[in-house]
Structure 1
Amino acid sequence: MSILTRGPGRTWAGFALAAAVLFGLAPAVLSDFRLSLLAKFLCFAIVAVGIGLAWGRGGMLTLGQGVFFGIGAYVMAMHLKIADAELKGSEVPDFMQIAGIRTLPGYWAPFASPVVTILAIALLPALVAFLLGLGVFKRRVKGAYFAILSQALAAAFAILLIGQQSTGGSNGLNRFRTFFGFSLADPANKRMLFFIAAGVLLAVVAATRQLMNSRYGELLVAVRDQEERVRFLGYDPANVKLVAYVTAAFFAGIAGALFVPIVGIISPADVGIVPSIAFLIGVAIGGRATLLGPVLGAIGVAWAQSAFSETFPSGWIYAQGLLFIVVVGFFPAGVAGLFALRRRRRPTDTTTAAPPAVETEMEFAR
């Protein structure tokens, strides 16, 4: 039985188990360094949930999630740098003083306010996704064309950031000292950031499950599989896709904002084509058509990258590429799809209703 068809009791039990692991077991057995590393992986998992909704359920190969991740991250980073400058009695952040910038740029000024910063983190990525999606989906751009367009957007965004001294250029923004008044040097506050990331991930998974189980979720799958039939029935597929795309961007923006105080740096290297593809690889390996597959895949791939890079610094990228090829070529439903397929093949009583078919998603991108 798929997680999307479980009863309320089993669903709540699953969330309770996840909460026990994240809020109880992990802080008890992991060192502060490893716990901070896991918090970073949870940020990737939040992005992966949105990709699973847009790609796995909606058939939109989103190769540009780094853009929305970067918007949320840079908004948060600008606020933290302004707050640090104010603590030192300076009008501009330290890196601007080194670059010879004596006045705070106009587009930085609104982010001195914590309220404006939080609203911008939530709204800016979603607004950009809405405007882009409106232009793309209304023109019926899809498949490989949509994937190339979103990837080009990620490349353009990274190049734009590199050329801007006011955002740190290729070095990005780093050396944050406080987070809304809390010192980032305090281990207790670092644990607080982990708990925030864990709570946000659980909330995002719960919201996505609700979407998938709703009438909208069924309509999104219908658009993915038979777009013209859905249009014939009187629905606009562009609007259906737009909701999933904006939701995925909203999740990515929140993840980027959490990433900044947890990791302590954001640069163009974190928001371009390579990280956007890395997000996608985790989702594909975990299982893009399932709810928990993207989460487990993103965390697993990020953990493997960290573990293998410590031992084989130059070999991980080849292992990652090989793993992606093997999964896409031979296990298109991902690791989670393998377990679902095994459950489907178990002998069942002929008097009971057959379980719903497992979505194997044999095509890499529709």
Structure 2
Amino acid sequence: MKNLVSSGVLGRWQTWAGFGVAAVLLFAVAPAVLSDFRLSLLGKFLCFAIVAVGIGLAWGRGGMLVLGQGVFFGLGGYMMGMHLKIADAQLRGEAVPDFMQIAGVRELPGYWEPFASPAFTLTAILVAPTAIAVALGYGVFKRRVKGAYFAILSQALAAAMAILLVGQTSLGGSNGLNRFRTFFGFTLNDPVNRRMLYFIAAATLLLVVAVARQLMYSRYGELLVAVRDSEERVRFLGYDPANIKVAAYAVAALFASIAGALFTPIVGFIAPSQVGILPSIAFLIGVAIGGRTTLLGPVLGAIGVAWAQTVFSERFPSEWTYAQGLLFIVVVGFFPAGLAGLAGVRSLLNRRRRSDSPASVAEPEPQGTTEEKVGVPT
């Protein structure tokens, strides 16, 4: 019992120490060593990491291969972009955003009007994608759709969403929404405000990781892993696997929506190219490479892949796509637990070496009868 208590205390201290190190790196080291451009680029990568945390929860822990997270990422991004465009138009004293004026639109569409309110926009970013994920999850998981069928369905949803957005001239068509000037009253061209956006993204990532950790190491997290490993056994024990899956899928959608809402002002645009199949697969690649079953693996994988894409695509624009595909094939084929799994294999080998060493061999128990060992009087 004493060993269990001490190990629990040690685990909590390690968790707090890990969050402390991450906070120092994100809030002190990165702003000190990176230029404003590179810091804004890191803020973009942190948005991808927020999406990856949700994928790690749904795919790594729940076994749901989510290939349509670009849908929820795009929903959050477009809702934030709609509010920013309305705010910019109001500052200029105009009734509609600039791209609508070019298209000859003189009146704001009805579904745009509620996004003039900051409170409504933030609420919609949190509620709408989550509600859509819950409705879609119940429709799919209650029918026991899983595996490759669920992956294909989610990917088809992403493709349909991208095609729909391209045809919507009231949402900018294939160009999307761009050229934002303000963010809730703050000028986006100001370097101080750009840093503020980075700090918001960094704080959100830490909060999302904390929420994911709480879910993973709770009773719900144990049920989620049980559903992944043996769904029928969980159903036999009296739990509904569909409800457990829906919760994880909704949380992943919520994280993706928040990431999209932060991505829009940080990068300065949101378009159908961030919603379709390719970005959804790119999110998945980072999670797979980092290690989908771990807590920090998806975060580090998403940031690392996004950073590598930026660096190498600048020098080798045509070769990077092939290198990214090859890296994904190698990791999935030879390291299914991701790069984070290499550390687990190394620690397992170290424990085996220690257990096989002569010093670790336990002394033989004293000879005696069974009654004497358990304390039964003779």
TM norm structure 2: 0.91
- 1:220 alignment partner in structure 2: 224
Cα separation, 1, equivalents of 2:45 and 2:348: 31
1:156-305 alignment runs, 5 A limit? 156-305=160-309
Residue 98 (str. 1) matches residue 122 (str. 2)? no
Shift of 1:307: 0.2
Cα separation, 1, equivalents of 2:86 and 2:69: 26
Shift of 1:132: 0.4
Cα separation, 2, equivalents of 1:226 and 1:162: 41
Shift of 1:223: 0.3
Work out which of the residue numbers 57, 61, 66 in structure 1 matches 2:65.
61
Cα separation, 2, equivalents of 1:260 and 1:212: 29
- Structure 1 residues 5 and 343, CA, compared in 2 at 3 Å: closer, same or farther? farther
Amino acid at match of 2:58: A
Work out which of the residue numbers 307, 310, 313 in structure 2 matches 1:309.
313
Residue 319 (str. 1) matches residue 323 (str. 2)? yes
Shift of 1:158: 0.3
Cα separation, 1, equivalents of 2:248 and 2:321: 30
CA deviations 1:236-295 (Å, max 9, x no partner) are 000000000000000000000000000001000011000000000000000000000000
CA deviations 1:69-106 (Å, max 9, x no partner) are 00000000000000000000000000000011111000
Amino acid at match of 1:8: R
Shift of 1:314: 1.1
Residue 84 (str. 1) matches residue 88 (str. 2)? yes
What runs of 5+ residues in structure 2 fail to find an aligned partner?
1-7, 363-378
Residue 332 (str. 1) matches residue 336 (str. 2)? yes
Shift of 1:327: 0.3
- Structure 1 residues 41 and 121, CA, compared in 2 at 3 Å: closer, same or farther? same
Residue 75 (str. 1) matches residue 79 (str. 2)? yes
Cα separation, 2, equivalents of 1:287 and 1:157: 28
TM norm structure 1: 0.94
Cα separation, 2, equivalents of 1:292 and 1:45: 10
Residue 32 (str. 1) matches residue 36 (str. 2)? yes
Cα separation, 1, equivalents of 2:105 and 2:287: 41
- 1:16 alignment partner in structure 2: 20
CA deviations 1:158-215 (Å, max 9, x no partner) are 0000000000000000000000000000000000000000000000001100000100
Cα separation, 2, equivalents of 1:107 and 1:65: 23
Amino acid at match of 1:166: S
Cα separation, 2, equivalents of 1:77 and 1:320: 30
Amino acid at match of 1:66: G
Cα separation, 1, equivalents of 2:240 and 2:75: 29
Shift of 1:351: 8.0
Cα separation, 2, equivalents of 1:351 and 1:231: 42
Cα separation, 2, equivalents of 1:129 and 1:5: 37
Q: Secondary structure of 2:339's match?
A: helix
Cα separation, 2, equivalents of 1:61 and 1:26: 33
Cα separation, 2, equivalents of 1:81 and 1:341: 50
CA deviations 1:306-335 (Å, max 9, x no partner) are 000110111111110000000000000000
Q: Secondary structure of 2:145's match?
A: coil
- Larger-gyration structure (1/2): 2
Residue 149 (str. 1) matches residue 153 (str. 2)? yes
Amino acid at match of 2:105: I
- Structure 1 residues 254 and 201, CA, compared in 2 at 3 Å: closer, same or farther? same
Q: Aligned-residue CA RMSD in angstroms?
A: 1.3
Shift of 1:19: 0.1
Cα separation, 1, equivalents of 2:42 and 2:13: 28
- Structure 1 residues 210 and 114, CA, compared in 2 at 3 Å: closer, same or farther? same
Amino acid at match of 1:132: L
Amino acid at match of 2:160: A
Q: Which runs of 4+ in 1 moved over 6 A?
A: none
Cα separation, 2, equivalents of 1:219 and 1:57: 10
Q: Secondary structure of 1:346's match?
A: helix
- Structure 1 residues 351 and 141, CA, compared in 2 at 3 Å: closer, same or farther? farther
Q: Percent identity?
A: 75
Cα separation, 2, equivalents of 1:5 and 1:43: 32
Amino acid at match of 1:299: I
Shift of 1:341: 1.3
CA deviations 1:222-244 (Å, max 9, x no partner) are 00000000000000000000000
